[in-house]
Structure 1
Amino acid sequence: ANEEFVIIAILVMLLVVVLAFRKWRVALIYLIGVVVGNLGVNSSLKNVFKRERPAEELRLVSESSFSFPSGHSFASAMIYPLTAYILMRYTGLGRYPRTVAVVVTLIVLSIGFSRIYLGVHFLTDVLAGYSLGYAFYYLTRFVIEKVENVT
């Protein structure tokens, strides 16, 4: 869930939604949800709470921004389920909802666990990131469904 991977994944997803599925509105809603949620809300909350990360000597990697909420957890809880939802809605993946759910859940949980293991987040940072990410996932999904049912 590093920044470069997420940006590339988002761009690929937008291209797939627009070029393969011809769903311009869905792509736009996806992009707005990701940008507003991850870049807007999550970044703003970090500056509101200004929670310091765990002690430097406990970290396996270096991070300089604030800790709460976890941006990686937020992004993983929003982007992976949303991407899976869109792919399931417009492709044959919809025939395997349990398999997709298990894979997405394992990815999301592993990203949150890795942030704690690396010593750059507290458990509460990760849980808050998950909560916000899933909230934005459901909000974005709701908007997509409303727009798609109208047209």
Structure 2
Amino acid sequence: MTAKVPKRKLTWGVAAAALLCCCAIALNFGHAVREVSASGLPSPKGVKSAQDRIDYLSAYGWQVSEEPIATQELLIPEEMDASYDEYLALQAQQGFDLKKYAGKRVKRYTYEVLNYPTGEKGVQANLLIRKNTVVGGEVLSPQLDGFLHGLAMP
């Protein structure tokens, strides 16, 4: 036994099924994109407040002081000599291009790191920010035999 279905109803049924499939695929794709973004590095844009800065550092796994221990306005030099090479390379490894900001002013926010893996005290995290965008950063020990590395947890 076969049922007769008018072509018009069949066409509408196929169109509705195709629309549902497209919606399901789009929703699933959107979810997958969010997962990739969530697992990647934090966005350097939109870092406006103290809480935004703390959240940015937290995304790298750092627990830091509630307030910065220092805030300083810096001028990125127009001309950078060889003494800047290592620092520029460190920033470039993290995706930051400080050469883009030559001659520009940035704010450096320094926070005390409370959870350095070795347990060392006095470790600091710096964020360089220009117009609500993180343009550089590092974690360092200010001790005489200290260290300097990128924002990623060692």
TM range (shorter): under 0.3
Q: Which structure has greater helix proportion?
A: 1
Higher relative contact order structure (alpha carbons within 8 Å, sequence separation ≥ 6): 1
Q: Select the structure of larger CA radius of gyration.
A: 2
Per residue, is there more strand in 1 or in 2? 2
